[in-house]
């Protein structure tokens, strides 16, 4: 891993990078460090990172950074990537690091590039992480962009220590909201962002102020130079006119002001005076003048309508404490008490603040000129509109409070559109049509291609306008009008946009997908209008909850042949799936982990088979790590379903597969085989294709994604607990699978949603995207009241895992070796060989690194890809983390605990705690307290079963993972009770891992069946198996080949011929 750090020093953003220390001899660094300063051992030359920073110089920077026990402490990111816990600093040391020196004009572009680079692998496959300091300056850069976009910057003049004068553009923080944002940013600054040793002396405000000022100046100057504003003073002599000199330093590429000493002094005085007046406040800074715009009287004649702009003084801290300006003038001038709060010189305060407001609002200026004791101003309707549109924002920027009528700024008070939809016949009038069409929904007029009738209406203030009323309104040319007793805003641009939109969209028939986009304003937005209401009739009404885009669905009945009882929220999920299925639409079931997404889909298939036994089969594509879980869940809950598993070296291909698939209800396969066997799978006319762990297609351009999208299916369903992990493109990929084309092309989606939301944090676009996807995503959380009420206190389930090729080779070698040795052994030696092998097989099932005694400090030992069990564990912990939950992980083996803790730190960049028999009591208490704090910094607690299986209260966990099995339910239950005990307020989900095809599966089955041998195992663990005959051991331990990864067979073949592990 590479970690990018940032500091501001010497007028440049200094980017330095941290990585694991290089093996072998020390790096060849020039001996240029100041006395008492050492090169940072983890620092990497920016030119060797593979990060494109443009043409920037690389210079050494001196930093004060944490040390731990006298040695430089790695950052938390780097420590986690090495599998180490976050180091505890014991002091600060001085270090140098090579850093990219980014000039102010390049800062925003480089920060953008740095953010983009976090998604791309670096040289050697190293991932880039952003340290807190880099993320801080990214946030500060976004803030600088916002200030520029809001035009919150002012021309300034700076006098250097050498007496030179420079023109500069500086951000303006004079209004309270902006000052509050600056203060919040300042509080959030990590110490590492001000670690550079320089004249700023690690002062947080000095660092932030200089950074924002330099970036604002560079960006303003760039725009002014590009537009050639310098032409305004061309031909005028800066030496003769100090103002021209100042403008030259502001509008051109050079900031230096050429003026003589006298002119420079006079200019500095004038500029500072002007800036001071901008920030003037009244005598008492605890009070502020506010403006309240009041509507005309209800029954006033239009010609006599007058709006009242009233003045008052309010307490800044207690805004409910206020006094009207008329009462101020009626009271004493020296001091007054309002609501128990003291105010000095209220007359002076009011006049001073009104004078400041008058600079930006002529109506306030007129009030001051009209009387010596102004308390308000009377406005016409046109003037009231001018005040609201033009002067109110300026007053707010100056820090004044302006109370506008409640309707102002609300979309309901502006011209809007109403969409009327009707669908007479449901799109699935012939539900077999899609199957007969080979999964082509367009051929059967199903899903998004179903036709609906639509037409647009113009509305304003909730009142619909007929064409005559609309044209009459357009002719009034009045910006504020009263309709049905409500004031509404009529913008000329809205009228023009509405006319154009209605002429281009007269109504008619459209596909359901087009109608949905229309209803949610995706197309109307381009015209500058919003959709205020959707009125649907016929079957289309079921798809809409007026204006919100929420699918209406009802709880379904449980299928008659389904075993077990579905919980109410699962029946509701079945109703939602059934509704979308009925009208030919795809959906994404995104429930929290543990809520039963698998069983809800199986219930849909069972209900379908009971209703239509001749329906085409469903294909489920899942990771190999959950494939066996699907077949077992189907056998358990829906035994009437005919299931075919397409997996293993002997799987059917071509026409043989197509013939077999036609005779079953459900086909299960993996993502790898969906790509590899896409031609075979494409021969079948699927009723539906469903993806489990659908985040596996989050990369739209991947071959695997393209192969799956090419499979013909009438309906598509995605199951995932994390529909969006990092980028919105992942959501687009999943939604494009479920309902192809609904969100447009990937490029259109990026332009319309991803860029505005991810880069500019557009709330409007985020809300629009939520509304657009809400009909097709059902997500319930365990914390939802309706769900929590249905859940028992504890839910246990088995997690089926597979062996990787490496594990399979080690497993077979261990079994064959034992079988050879027990033939020639007896008594105690035979029992010892069997027991040692059984323990070794459990270690192999855990992770090859444990069986091979690889220390957790070896990078290979932390690779979850070597273990099918660890692969599945990491997938499940991804969801635990996404839910904001915490988990306990139990293992019998201390070495496996070390491997797990280190792997978790590396994978999730969080601390993973580890408690074992050798943990001192004080450290044990510290670990427990930190986990119980539940702040998310250490969400995973690994415990050895003997050390952590009893006596602890760990109710901060809502998930318990038994990574390897003790084969004694009582012992495992005792460990589970660390979380499932008094004080636990959530349902505890218990996950017990079993590796398919190995001794773990066979022993688990024996315990489930309560066999005689199982009683011996429960009583004495693996020792209970040591007396078995050689043939019985062979039956118990032989690896079943169909439980292996697709690529495991060649590895085993190589091992059998002497070329394997």
Summarised one tens digit per residue, pLDDT across range 941-998 is 999 887 765 667 888 999 999 999 877 777 778 888 888 776 777 889 999 999 988 9
Contacts made by residues 361-365, CB under 8 angstroms, sequence distance 24+: 361/387, 361/391, 361/394, 361/395, 362/391, 363/309, 363/387, 363/391, 364/291, 364/309, 364/311
* pLDDT at res. 505: 76
C-alpha–C-alpha distance, residues 815 and 799, integer Å: 24
Is residue 842 helix, strand or coil? helix
What is the pLDDT, as a whole number, of residue 495? 80
Answering whether pTM is above 0.85, one says no
Q: If pLDDT is split at 50, 70 and 90, which confidence band does 1060 have? A: very low
Residue 860: predicted pLDDT:
86
- pLDDT for the residue numbered 914: 95
Rounded to whole angstroms, the Cα distance separating 638 from 132 reads 50
What is the predicted pLDDT for the residue at 489? 82
Mean pLDDT of 150-173: 83
**Structure-token pair, residue 852:** 């091979």
Q: What is the pLDDT of residues 188-197, one digit of tens each?
A: 999 999 999 9
**pLDDT confidence band for 1057 (50 / 70 / 90):** very low
> Measured between alpha carbons, how far is 982 from 905 in angstroms, rounded to an integer?
30
Taking CA 861 as the corner, what is the angle to CA 859 and CA 866, rounded to the nearest 5 degrees?
A: 115
| pLDDT surpassing 80 at residue 608 | yes
Residue 439, pLDDT score: 43
Structure tokens at 276: 């001071």
Does pLDDT of 827 surpass 90? Answer: no
Q: Could you tell me the two tokens for 281?
A: 């406040």
Residue-wise pLDDT for 290-325, tens only, equals 999 999 987 667 667 899 999 999 988 888 899 999
Strand (E) or helix (H) holding 816: helix 805-823
Are the C-beta atoms of residues 866 and 821 closer than 8 Å to each other?
no
pLDDT at 263: 72
The per-residue pLDDT for 442 is 39
Tokens at residue 845, please? 């099932």
pLDDT at 811 over 80: yes
Cβ-contact 293, 404 below 8 angstroms: yes
The 10s digit of each residue's pLDDT in 117-156 is 886 555 455 788 999 999 999 999 999 998 888 888 888 8
Q: Find residue 961's DSSP bridge partners.
A: 889, 991
pLDDT of 416: 78
Q: How far apart are CA 670 and CA 683, in angstroms?
A: 17
Task: Give the per-residue pLDDT at 1003.
Answer: 83
677, 697, 734: which is closest to 622 by C-alpha? Answer: 697
Q: Categorize the per-residue pLDDT at 244 as very low, low, confident or very high, splitting at 50, 70 and 90.
A: confident
pLDDT of amino acid 1002: 86
What confidence tens digit (pLDDT) does each residue in 368-410 have? 989 999 999 999 998 999 999 889 988 887 778 899 998 887 7
State pLDDT tens for residues 415-441.
778 888 887 655 544 444 444 444 444
**Residue spans of alpha helices (H) in 944-1029:** 945-948, 969-976, 999-1009, 1012-1020
Nearest Cα neighbor of 647 from 677, 617, 690 is 677
Q: What is the rounded distance in angstroms from the CA atom of residue 203 to the CA atom of residue 211?
A: 12
Query: Whole-angstrom Cα distance, residue 183 to residue 188?
Result: 9
- Mean pLDDT within 211-226: 91
d(CA 456, CA 500): 12
Q: What is the pLDDT of residue 662?
A: 94
Top-ranked range on mean pLDDT: pick from 58-62, 280-284, 493-497, 979-983: 58-62
Q: Exposed (0-12), middle (13-18) or buried (19+): which is 484, by Cβ within 10 Å?
A: exposed
- pLDDT value at residue 25: 46
For the cut 60, the answer to whether the pLDDT of residue 29 exceeds it is no
Model confidence pLDDT, tens digit, residues 541-583: 766 653 444 455 677 899 999 998 999 999 999 999 998 888 8
Taking residue 375's Cβ as centre, other Cβ atoms within 10 Å add up to 18
Q: What percent of the chain has pLDDT over 90?
A: 39
Average pLDDT over residues 54-64: 91
Residue-wise pLDDT for 982-1041, tens only, equals: 677 788 999 999 998 898 988 888 777 765 555 555 555 566 677 778 888 888 888 886
Neighbours of 163 (CB within 10 A): 8
Average pLDDT over residues 467-475: 72
Report whether 539 contacts 583 (CB < 8 A): yes
List domains and CATH numbers for the chain: 1-227 (no CATH), 287-403 (no CATH), 411-543 (no CATH), 568-788 (3.40.50.10810), 796-1054 (3.40.50.300)
Tell me what pLDDT residue 949 has.
59
Confidence of residue 209 (pLDDT cuts 50, 70, 90): very high
Greater pLDDT, 443 or 653: 653
- Structure-token match 């997996």, residue found: 647
Please give the backbone phi and psi of residue 770, each rounded to the nearest 5 degrees, phi first.
-60, -45
* Residue 1014: how many other CB atoms lie within 10 Å: 18
The three-state secondary structure class of 719 is strand
Judge whether 940 and 904 are in contact, CB under 8 Å. Answer: yes
Residue 362 clears pLDDT 60, i.e. is over it:
yes
Other Cβ atoms within 10 Å of 396 Cβ, number: 15
Mean pLDDT over the full length of the chain: 83
pLDDT for the residue 528: 64
Residue 790 vs residues 201, 559, 566, 600, 793: alpha-carbon distances, Å: 58, 19, 10, 15, 10
pLDDT attached to residue 277: 60
What's the full length of the chain, in residues? 1061
900-948 pLDDT tens trace: 999 999 999 999 999 998 888 889 889 999 999 989 899 999 998 877 6
The answer to whether the CB of 875 falls within 8 A of the CB of 623 is yes
Tokens encoding 841: 């097989």
Largest Cα separation within the chain, whole Å, is 116
Cα(998)–Cα(1020) distance, rounded to whole angstroms?
A: 20
**Per-residue burial over 97-109, b = 16 or more CB atoms within 10 Å of its CB, e = otherwise:** bbbbbbebebbbe
């Amino acid at each position: 891993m590479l970690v990018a750090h940032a500091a501001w020093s010497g007028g440049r953003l200094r980017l330095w990078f941290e990585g694991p220390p290089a093996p072998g001899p020390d790096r060849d660094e020039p001996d240029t460090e100041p006395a008492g300063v050492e090169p940072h051992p983890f620092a990497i030359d920016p030119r060797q990172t593979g990060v494109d920073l443009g043409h920037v110089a690389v210079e050494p920077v001196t930093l004060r950074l944490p040390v731990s026990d006298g040695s430089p402490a790695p950052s938390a990111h780097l420590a986690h990537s090495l599998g180490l816990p976050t180091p505890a600093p014991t002091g600060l040391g001085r270090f140098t690091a090579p850093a990219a020196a980014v000039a102010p004009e390049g800062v925003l572009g480089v920060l953008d590039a740095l953010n983009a680079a976090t998604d791309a692998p670096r040289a050697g496959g190293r991932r880039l992480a952003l340290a807190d300091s880099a993320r801080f300056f990214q946030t500060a850069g976004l803030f600088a962009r916002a200030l520029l976009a809001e035009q919150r910057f002012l021309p300034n003049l700076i006098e250097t220590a050498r007496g030179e004068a420079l023109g500069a553009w500086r951000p303006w923080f004079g209004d309270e909201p902006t000052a509050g944002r600056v203060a919040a940013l300042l509080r959030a600054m990590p110490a590492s962002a001000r670690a550079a040793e320089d004249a700023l002396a690690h002062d947080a405000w000095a660092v932030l102020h200089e950074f924002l000022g330099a970036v604002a100046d560079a960006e303003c100057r760039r725009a002014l130079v590009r537009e050639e504003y310098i032409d305004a003073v061309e031909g005028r002599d800066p030496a003769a006119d100090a103002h021209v000199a100042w403008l030259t330093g502001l509008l051109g590429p050079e900031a230096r002001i050429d003026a003589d000493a006298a002119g420079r002094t006079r200019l500095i005085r004038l500029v500072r005076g002007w800036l001071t007046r901008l920030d003037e406040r009244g005598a008492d800074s605890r009070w502020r003048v506010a403006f309240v715009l009041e509507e005309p009287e209800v029954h006033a004649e239009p010609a006599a309508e007058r709006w009242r702009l009233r003045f008052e003084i309010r307490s800044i801290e207690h805004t409910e404490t206020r006094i009207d300006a008329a009462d101020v003038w009626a009271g004493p001038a020296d001091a007054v008490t309002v609501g128990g709060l003291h105010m000095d010189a209220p007359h002076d305060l009011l006049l001073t603040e009104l004078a400041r407001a008058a600079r930006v609002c002529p109506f306030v200026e007129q009030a001051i000129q009209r009387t010596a004791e102004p308390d308000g101003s009377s406005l016409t309707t046109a003037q009231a509109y001018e005040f609201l549109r033009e002067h109110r924002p300026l007053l707010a920027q100056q820090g004044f409070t302006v109370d506008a009528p409640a309707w102002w700024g609300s979309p309901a008070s502006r011209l809007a559109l109403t969409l009327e939809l009707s669908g007479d016949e449901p799109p699935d009038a012939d539900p077999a049509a899609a199957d007969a069409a080979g999964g082509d929904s367009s051929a059967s007029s199903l899903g998004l291609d179903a036709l609906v009738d639509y037409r647009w209406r113009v509305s304003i203030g909730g009142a619909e306008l007929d064409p005559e009323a609309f044209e009459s309104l357009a002719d009034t040319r009045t910006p504020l009008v009263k309709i049905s007793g409500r004031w509404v805003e009529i913008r000329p641009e809205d009228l023009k946009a509405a006319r154009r939109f209605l002429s281009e969209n007269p109504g008619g028939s459209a596909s359901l997908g087009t109608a949905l986009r229309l209803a949610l304003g995706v197309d109307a937005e381009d015209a500058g209008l919003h959709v205020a209401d959707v009125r649907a009739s016929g079957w289309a009404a079921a798809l809409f909850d007026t204006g919100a885009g929420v699918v209406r669905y009802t709880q379904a009945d449980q299928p008659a042949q389904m075993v077990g009882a579905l919980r109410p929220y699962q029946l509701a999920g079945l109703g939602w799936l059934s509704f979308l299925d009925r009208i030919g639409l795809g959906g994404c079931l995104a429930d929290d982990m543990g809520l039963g997404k698998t069983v809800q889909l199986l219930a849909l298939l069972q209900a379908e088979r009971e209703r239509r036994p001749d329906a085409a089969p469903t294909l489920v594509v899942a990771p190999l790590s959950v494939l066996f879980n699907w077949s077992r869940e189907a056998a358990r809950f829906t035994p009437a379903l005919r299931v075919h598993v397409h997996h293993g070296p002997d799987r059917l291909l071509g026409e043989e597969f197509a013939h077999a698939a036609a005779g079953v209800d459900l086909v299960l396969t993996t993502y790898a085989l969906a790509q590899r066997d896409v031609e075979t799978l494409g021969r079948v006319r699927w009723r539906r294709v469903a993806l489990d762990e659908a985040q596996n297609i989050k990369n739209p351009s991947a071959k695997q994604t393209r192969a799956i999208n090419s499979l013909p299916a009438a309906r598509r369903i995605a199951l995932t607990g994390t529909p969006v992990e990092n980028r919105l493109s992942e959501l687009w990929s999943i939604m494009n699978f479920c309902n192809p084309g609904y969100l447009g092309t990937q490029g259109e989606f990026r332009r319309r949603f991803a860029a505005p939301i991810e880069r500019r944090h557009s709330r409007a676009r985020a809300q629009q995207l939520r509304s657009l996807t809400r009909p097709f995503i059902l997500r319930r959380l365990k914390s939802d009241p309706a769900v929590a009420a249905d859940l028992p206190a504890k839910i246990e389930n088995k997690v089926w895992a597979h062996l990787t090729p490496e594990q399979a080779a080690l497993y077979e070698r261990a079994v064959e070796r034992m079988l050879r040795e027990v033939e020639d052994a007896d008594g105690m030696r035979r029992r010892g060989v069997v027991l040692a092998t059984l323990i070794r097989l459990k270690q192999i099932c855990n992770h090859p690194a444990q069986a091979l005694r690889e220390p957790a400090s070896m990078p290979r030992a932390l690779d979850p890809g070597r273990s099918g069990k660890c692969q599945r564990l990491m997938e499940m912990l991804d969801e635990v983390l996404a839910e904001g939950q915490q988990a306990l992980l139990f293992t019998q083996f201390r070495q496996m605990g070390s491997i797990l803790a280190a792997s978790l730190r590396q994978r999730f960049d969080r601390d993973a705690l580890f408690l074992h028999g050798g943990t001192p009591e004080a450290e044990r208490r510290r670990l427990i307290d930190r986990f119980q704090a539940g702040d998310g910094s250490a969400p995973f607690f690994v415990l050895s079963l003997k050390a952590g299986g009893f006596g602890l209260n760990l109710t901060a966990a809502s998930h318990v993972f038994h990574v390897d099995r003790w084969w004694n339910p009582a012992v495992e239950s005792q460990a589970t009770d660390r979380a499932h005990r008094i004080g636990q307020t959530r349902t505890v989900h218990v996950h017990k891992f079993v590796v398919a095809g190995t001794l773990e599966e066979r022993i688990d089955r024996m315990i489930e069946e309560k066999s005689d041998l199982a009683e011996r195992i429960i009583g004495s663990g693996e020792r209970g198996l040591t007396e078995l005959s050689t043939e019985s051991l062979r039956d118990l331990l032989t690896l079943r080949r169909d439980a292996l990864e697709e690529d495991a067979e060649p590895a085993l073949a190589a091992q059998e011929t002497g070329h394997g592990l």
